[in-house]
A and B are shown apart, each in its own frame.
Chain A
Amino acid sequence: MGNVVFAIIFYALVVMVLVSAVAAAFLRNIVMAAFALFFTLLGMAGFYVLLGADFLAITQVVVYVGGILILLLFGVLLTHRSIETLELETRGTYVLGIFGGLLVYGVLHYFLFSVSWPTPLMKPLEPTTAAIGQLLLSKYLLPFEVSSVTLLIALIGAAYLVRRRDT
């Protein structure tokens, strides 16, 4: 019973993520594509919940959905004169893209189905936030501090790039 419910939730999330990802990749209107990406990111948070990564699910919602997607939409609003000029893709670019995608997926498919993946260990699901915090303050202390420096550099760089030209 539990397994069946789990499988139903999993496949519902698969449909949601893949359909909205295809929409994000192929919709010619870039604003619609960004909104399709919203559903992809939300579905990914659902996967993280199913995988027992509760903290990652929260991070996904807060940073990706609340931050990066908003930034993307701001980017759309800042860089267009009219909606029509944003639809730049032609049939030729899509054919090229699908060809490249098939090539990549062929390689991935070969590895996915030729390697015998080990049978799953069913580790008990437990809250991960405290354990991740412990790891960040002990083993991954340096990456933790360096990530703050990276954020600082990204912020200053981005603020410098978009500064007003006359000041």
Chain B
Amino acid sequence: MITLHHYLVVAALLFTIGIVCVISRRNAIGILIGIELILNAANLNLIAFSRYFEVGLEGQVFAIFVIILAACEAAIALAILISLFASFGTIDVDAAQRMKR
């Protein structure tokens, strides 16, 4: 019998993997991948709660807005990375600490 608890544990593990990815990556696109993992874990929680609780579909509506914001965030983040690459020649986040080259 799969219960709410199973989904919560999976989401927690996915969230943790995302955190590890965000901390350990120095490649900025790797950090973005970690953020996507974290957002997916949050979405899994929202939808699991909307399935097993008496809140109706609100959780799913919220998850749609999370997906939209994830798309906006990915678009902006990659645009920033591209202009970072244009001015520094690398996307190593540790190399981009100076204000100008």
Find chain B residues with CB under 8 A from A10 CB. Answer: 2, 6
Contact of A44 among B8, B43, B91 (CB under 8 A): B43
Number of B residues with CB within 8 Å of any CB on chain A: 72
Residue of A nearest to B3 (CB): A120
Measured in the bound complex, the distance between the Cα atoms of B64 and A150 in whole Å is: 14
Number of A residues with CB within 8 Å of any CB on chain B: 85
In the complex, per-residue mask of A4-40: 1 if CB is within 8 Å of any chain B CB, else 0: 0011001000100110011011100010011001001
Is B21 a contact partner of A25 (Cβ separation < 8 A)?
yes
Query: Smallest CB–CB gap between A18 and chain B, Å?
Result: 6
Contact of A51 among B8, B22, B40, B47 (CB under 8 A): B47
Is B78 a contact partner of A158 (Cβ separation < 8 A)?
yes
* Contacts beyond the supplied A105-B16, A132-B61: 18 A-B pairs with Cβ under 8 Å: A18-B17, A21-B18, A24-B21, A24-B33, A25-B25, A25-B33, A26-B21, A47-B7, A51-B47, A59-B67, A79-B81, A79-B82, A85-B90, A97-B24, A100-B20, A120-B52, A121-B53, A158-B78
Interface of A toward B, CB cutoff 8 Å: 3, 6-7, 10, 14, 17-18, 21-22, 24-26, 30, 33-34, 37, 40-41, 44, 47-48, 50-53, 55-56, 59-60, 63-64, 67-68, 71-72, 74-76, 78-81, 85-90, 93-94, 96-98, 100-101, 104-105, 108-109, 112, 117-121, 123, 128, 131-132, 135-136, 140, 143, 147, 150-151, 153-155, 157-159, 161-162, 165
